[in-house]
């Protein structure tokens, strides 16, 4: 099965010194920018999750902990049953 990647061309303004430093590390600026955006996006998602869990009430924290333990136990049972 072939997965088509749809990309969109953008125009950005970047500090000249930073661009020179990036060019020393890679020949593909687009790939560097894409990797940087993916990393930035991943960090934002982690921050949102961290904030969400830090703001839970103690009863909500316990609920999440219980569900996490249940899910882990079930996964361990499934893997063991499958011989993995």
Domain ranges of the chain: 16-81
How confident is the prediction along the chain (84 residues), in pLDDT tens digits per residue?
566 679 999 999 999 999 999 999 999 999 999 999 999 999 999 999 999 999 999 999 999 999 999 999 999 999 999 998
Q: What SS3 class is residue 15? A: coil
Say how far apart CA 65 and CA 24 lie, in whole Å.
46
Residue 48: alpha-carbon gap to chain centroid: 11
pTM, two decimals, is 0.66
Residue 67: alpha-carbon gap to chain centroid: 22
**Per-residue buried b or exposed e for 59-82, using 16+ beta carbons within 10 Å of the residue's own CB:** eeeeeeeeeeeeeeeeeeeeeeee
- The 8-class DSSP code of residue 55 comes to T
């Amino acid at each position: 099965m072939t997965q088509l990647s749809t990309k969109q061309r953008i125009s950005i303004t970047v500090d000249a010194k930073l661009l020179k430093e990036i060019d020393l590390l890679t020949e593909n600026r687009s790939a560097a920018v894409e990797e940087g955006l993916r990393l930035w996006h991943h960090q934002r998602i982690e921050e949102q999750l961290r904030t969400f869990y830090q703001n839970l009430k103690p009863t909500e924290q316990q609920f999440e902990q219980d569900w996490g333990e249940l899910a882990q136990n079930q996964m361990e049972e499934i893997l063991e049953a499958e011989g993995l």
